[in-house]
Structure 1
Amino acid sequence: MKTAQSRQKSYSDIRRRPLEFKVGDHVFVKITPLKGVTRFGKKGKLSPCFIGPFEIFDRIGERPYRLALPLDLNKVHNVFHISMLRKYISNPIHVLIHEPLDLMPNSSNQEMSIQILDRKIKVLKNKEIGIVKVLRSNHVAEEATWELEEEMKQCYPEFFE
């Protein structure tokens, strides 16, 4: 067992690079997208895993850093572990624009349904279910999702008049 642990440690030590930031550096923050939940304005498992760049405001200890987040992210705790940060290499042609987000206390935001794009009947073994393709606010038509027609009728009866 000891030999196996030693071998695994030697593999990880080769791949590990020392990572350290200074106050004033810019970094990307790693986020974990959850299915159906919008975090930091990103939704879905194919969404980008890093947002930013943000400036390092303060070093708290050996590993945690405090970031200078924009005002629209004031509900998000601004202290991150070094493992959640990636270095940003500046480029003069990059234009950094932060879109304002309407975040709730759990770092998610409420999206409103705007329009129904399509309707289908899903045929299962012994029943049929009506589904509708719904376009949400702040999304394009390619990001529309299929929802149950009955649930949409309860939440948005004006779409079915």
Structure 2
Amino acid sequence: MRGVKRFGVWGKLSPRYVGPFEILEQVGAVAYKVALPPRLAGVHDVFHVSNLRKYVHNSEHILSYILIEIQEDMTYEEFPAFIVDREVRKLGNREISYVKIHWSNHDDREDTWELENVMRERHPHLFEELE
């Protein structure tokens, strides 16, 4: 037997609690309707109070945002802000240089690895600090 399947994951290490989610309304004396994200569309949105936990405030849960200037055609300009890291990867007998780029209007989780020679050609100002 494989165990319990919770939130799309089998086994003992499947998540028991997910969230936090906003409580929309109290349905009965001991039941609450919860605002679930689209990825949990198959889950019934009313829970018994025993299945809920009180939210404990954590300062890391606060969402930060960056104000973006949006043009009239609903687009915005995006550009590489700075180089975070460099790496050389071996592919057969060749060495390929990559740089990790931090993009404007994005947070650290959205940094991307780009070919160094392409970035040097398009954005030479990024490499002035490194040399």
Whether these two folds match at TM > 0.5 is no
> What is the TM-score of this pair, normalised by structure 2?
0.41
If asked which structure has higher relative contact order (CA below 8 Å, sep 6+), I would say 1
